[in-house]
Amino acid sequence: MMDIKLLRRSLLRWFSRAKRPLPWRQTREAYAIWVSEMMLQQTTVATVIPYYERFMKRFPVLTSLAASREDEVLALWSGLGYYSRARNLRRAAQELIEHHGGRFPRDVGTAMTLRGVGRYTASAVTSMAYGTRAAVVDGNVRRVLSRLHAARNLAEAPAQHQAQELLSRRAPGSWNEAMMELGATVCTPKKPRCENCPISTHCLGRAHPEHWSEGKPRRRSIAISVEMALVRREGSVLLTRNPAGGLMGGLFELPHSGLPRKGGAIKDLRGCYRGILDVDAEAAVAFRHTVTHHRIQATVFKATLLPRAKPGGARFHSIKDALALPLGGLTRKALRAVGLMPG
């Protein structure tokens, strides 16, 4: 039989000395933890750190985020992807001001009423900030539980039940962090470092750890060819804004064709901007970019604005001004590739 008390002591002792010094671990303030958890959804820790630090410098408290403009939030989020997270974060901050006295709720159920906050985020924030006894189950925790109990294809309900049973009564927030840290750094999907695991003696699946963890089936990727026009004038570049909704909706990009749109993508750059742009025949640069499950092959062509042409909603912006816009990652990469933006 598993000695749960010993397992808890072993894991918490290991976490106290092995945890990574991440910036959001320097505080127990609910707002800061919530921002980090929203950013970390489907995004690696290494990618999130600089975004988190810039975001918290600009919006150090909840009231500053609630009073912000959406474009300002999206600009700071630019390049991080999954922009609905940024919109939800801002709107939920306003909900907290309007309905919760400017404080993140202490209980999971109330927290889950906020825009973009599900069980995982609600449990993570309330446990770490307030010590609420709510277990978190993400991909890392589910993998640890599967191996610990030698249970393949562990479903959501039993995983949540097992996590709640193991949860430390004394330090639920630290326990949740420890379980996630173990899965991220030791009990990894492939080649887990069982010899360094603080709870390996309790693990029923340690003889064949990879058998008990099965990765999610990958969503089928979609290949897209995108053509982009680089139009320069006196140190500025022409930018247009994607329609709301759809892939990279609401972000500023170079004039382009090929992105999925309602009613279908317009494939041909020259056809799309006929009578507006004179597009070079040869490409200036080509690169690859990934957005969610879309694999984009992007080609950038230099172009000029035709005399008396009216480019719709497109406008010229300096590179400095462009950095303050919600600029799409695709265009950021294009501008870096042609040497107009620092890496």
- Contact, 340 vs 318, CB < 8 A? no
CB 305 within 8 A of CB 231: yes
Q: Has 72 been annotated as catalytic?
A: no
Largest CA distance in the chain: 81
Q: How far apart are CA 72 and CA 326, in angstroms?
A: 7
> Which amino acid appears at position 21 of this protein?
P
Residue 119 three-state SS: helix
Cα 203 vs. chain centroid, distance in angstroms?
Answer: 31
Number of other residues whose CB lies within 10 A of the CB of residue 50: 12
Report the distance separating Cα 165 and Cα 159, nearest Å.
10
CA 256 to CA 289: how far, in whole Å? 14
Amino acid at 125: V
Residue in 37, 177, 181, 253 annotated catalytic: 37
Instruction: Write down how long the chain is.
Output: 343
Tokens representing residue 118 in the block: 């599900």
Neighbours of 155 (CB within 10 A): 9
State the catalytic residues.
Answer: 37
